[in-house]
Amino acid sequence: MRIARFTTGEDPVYGLVDGAGEKIAEVTGDPLYQRIELTGATHRVEDVRLLAPVIPRSKIIGIGKNYADHAAEMGGEPPAEPLMFLVPNTAVVGPGDPVVLPPQSSEVHYEGELAVVIGRLCKDVEPEDALGVIFGYTCANDVTARDLQRGDGQWARAKGFDTFSPLGPWIETDLDISDLRLVTRRDGEVVQDGTTADMVHGVAALISHASKAFTLLPGDVILTGTPAGVGPIESGQRVEVEIEGIGTLSNPVIRH
Ligand code: MG
């Protein structure tokens, strides 16, 4: 299933998106927490405003340097154990929402990533059990103020600004993520072209590692790291993160 959160001008609701990504069938309730039923209402996707498919109630767990080619371009080796950081849920925006460049930074980068949405409360998950706690997958842009990341010594501010965690366009619940092409475009130009097969630590290992530190809750999101090709974004540009089998997350960049 492809589960979208959207609005037609009223309160946000959820819906099931068809395979072509053109139609959306409205459902009752929140699929993360409740049984859902079709309401009978359908919309064209182009006629609704898609919202971030999940607003994590608890946390976004980012993973740093999880592709060897990206670790190399940052000037190092991938860490032996997954390197985790936390992003506040106030950083989340949805498809089409602007990424707002903050005045504190003059070097903001895109990072196209596969995001894992957790579906069950869990703790101390072993890797062989990890796929059972996944609700689904979506596209993410782990926007990073690179200059502040270097200067601050830790990454909370550099990755946690409002609008720095675009998610969407929807959650795909049935997906083999072992080898999915991940492409990032800046103003239409391909700037990252990788595959999830190149993750240093796979999704099962990441969930296990994270859950041995933190209780994971439904709606928590794990950003699984970015392949090589990160680079700057400027006001007026648009970034698209496309993952095979999911779709395309597209966001304009602005500076107030
Ligand atoms: Mg990242």
Residues with CB under 5 A from ligand 1 (ion): 111, 142, 226
| Class of CATH domain 2-51 | mainly beta
**Distance in Å, CA 234 to ligand 1 centroid:** 18
**Which amino acid type is present at position 87?**
V
Alpha carbon of 120 to ligand 1 centroid (Å):
24
**Mean pLDDT value across residues 174-190:** 97
Question: How remote is the CA of residue 140 from the centroid of ligand 1, in Å?
Answer: 9
**pLDDT per residue as tens digits for the range 127-140:** 999 999 999 999 99
Rounded mean pLDDT, 92-103:
98
Q: Are 208 and 127 within 8 A, CB to CB?
A: yes
What are 190-227's pLDDT values in tens digits? 999 999 999 999 999 999 999 999 999 999 999 999 99
Residue 76's pLDDT band (boundaries 50, 70, 90)? confident
- Length, in residues, of the chain: 256
Q: Is the pTM of this model over 0.85?
A: yes
Residues of the chain above pLDDT 90, percent: 96
Tell me, in angstroms, the distance from the centre of ligand 1 to residue 212's CA: 21
CA of 110 to the centre of ligand 1 (A): 9
pLDDT at 256: 85
Q: How far is the CA of 171 from the centre of ligand 1 (A)?
A: 19
Number of H-type helices and E-type strands within the chain: 4, 20
In this prediction, residue 240 carries a pLDDT of 98
Q: What is the DSSP string of 188-244?
A: TEEEEEEEGGGBSS-HHHHHHHHHTTS-B-TT-EEE----S--EE--TT-EEEEEET
Q: What is the pLDDT of residues 116-128, one digit of tens each?
A: 999 999 999 999 9
Instruction: Find the farthest-apart pair of alpha carbons in the chain and give their distance in angstroms, rounded.
Output: 53
pLDDT of residue 3: 98
Per-residue pLDDT tens over the stretch 5-50: 999 999 999 999 999 999 999 999 999 999 999 999 999 999 999 9
82 C-alpha vs ligand 1 centroid, how far in Å? 12
Mean pLDDT of the chain: 97
Q: For residue 12, report the distance from its CA to the centre of ligand 1, in Å.
A: 28
Q: How far is the CA of 85 from the centre of ligand 1 (A)?
A: 10
Confidence at residue 15, expressed as pLDDT on a 0 to 100 scale: 98
143 CA → ligand 1 middle, Å: 7
Strands 49-51 and 189-195: unpaired
Of 103, 98, 65, nearest to 81 by C-alpha is 65
CA distances from 36 to 33, 105, 131, 245 (A): 9, 43, 22, 23
Ligand 1 center to residue 67 CA distance, Å?
Answer: 10
Q: Does domain 60-255 have CATH number 3.40.50.720?
A: no
Q: If you measure from the C-alpha of residue 47 to the centroid of ligand 1, how many angstroms do you get, rounded to a whole number?
A: 32
| Distance from the alpha carbon of residue 248 to the mean position of ligand 1, in angstroms | 17
Give the whole-angstrom CA distance, residue 26 versus residue 122.
Answer: 29
Mean pLDDT, residues 92-96 taken together: 98
**Which pLDDT does position 107 carry in this prediction?**
98
Count other Cβ atoms within 10 Å, centred on residue 3. 24
pLDDT for 219 equals 97
**41 CA distance to ligand 1 centroid (A)?**
37
Domain locations in the chain?
2-51, 60-255
Q: What is the 113 CA–ligand 1 centroid distance (Å)?
A: 7
> Token pair for residue 96?
């089409």
